[in-house]
């Protein structure tokens, strides 16, 4: 069996909120959460102050509304699981806008909560990791002009081709334990003469 190893977390001592009216579905979700060692509470219609501490929120996709959540759509800091009854497109649109990472169809009985938890948790982690990566790529993109200027300066000072200049910069950045962008900033900030002489030894900015 091929198996990309994703670690399945243990949910012991997690706290969960089930944002749903009292119903057999609410009871079933609470019961399943308890089996997983999760402390779970049902609330409706509003989250309380303590909910900010929750590790996961199950919410009603049928009767839910934006004002229930203390954060903007799509920016939930915890995994969200939608409890879906009506599959009306408008409701699903709203579920997606809230940023649900998984869903369960109502009525909920014995199964589904565990996989929803695993999948929603994974989706949130993955989204966080991707957002971090996008942030860092955007930052590098923004600083590309400085890198180009630094390459030019090294080309001129050392009388070498651009590829060679880039390679030296990369190597020097690595030796200094800096990112290429930080290294280039420092290089450009150093006095011209010194930078030209040292070529690849910028002073600390």
Q: Which residues bind another protein (CB under 8 A)?
A: 1, 10-12, 31-32, 34-37, 109-111, 114
Q: Which one, 44 or 114, has the nearer CB to another protein?
A: 114
- Residue tagged 């996989």 (tokens): 115
Q: Which one, 83 or 154, has the nearer CB to another protein?
A: 83
Q: Which one, 31 or 168, has the nearer CB to another protein?
A: 31
CB of 52 to another protein, least distance (A): 24
Phi, psi of 114 (to 5 degrees): -60, -50
d(CA 79, CA 102): 8
Contact 106, 126 (CB under 8 A): no
CB of 35 to another protein, least distance (A): 5
Q: Which one, 110 or 141, has the nearer CB to another protein?
A: 110
Q: Which one, 121 or 199, has the nearer CB to another protein?
A: 121
């Amino acid at each position: 069996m091929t198996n990309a190893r994703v670690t399945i977390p243990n949910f012991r001592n997690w706290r969960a909120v089930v944002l749903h009216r009292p119903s057999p579905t609410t009871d079933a979700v609470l019961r399943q959460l308890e089996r997983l060692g999760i402390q779970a509470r049902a609330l409706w219609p509003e989250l309380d102050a303590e909910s900010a501490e929750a590790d996961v929120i199950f919410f009603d996709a049928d009767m839910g509304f934006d004002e229930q959540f203390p954060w903007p759509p799509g920016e939930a800091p915890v995994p969200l699981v939608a409890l879906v009854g009506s599959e009306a497109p408008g409701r699903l649109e709203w579920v997606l806008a809230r940023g649900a990472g998984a869903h369960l169809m109502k009525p909920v009985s014995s199964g589904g909560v565990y996989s929803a938890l695993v999948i929603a948790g994974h989706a949130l982690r993955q989204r966080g990791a991707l957002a971090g990566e996008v942030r860092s790529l955007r930052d590098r993109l923004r600083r590309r002009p400085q890198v180009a200027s630094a390459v030019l300066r090294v080309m001129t000072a050392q009388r070498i081709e651009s590829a060679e200049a880039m390679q030296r910069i990369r190597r020097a950045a690595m030796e200094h334990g800096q990112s290429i962008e930080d290294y280039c900033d420092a290089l450009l900030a150093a006095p011209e003469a010194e930078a030209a002489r040292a070529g690849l030894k910028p002073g600390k900015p």
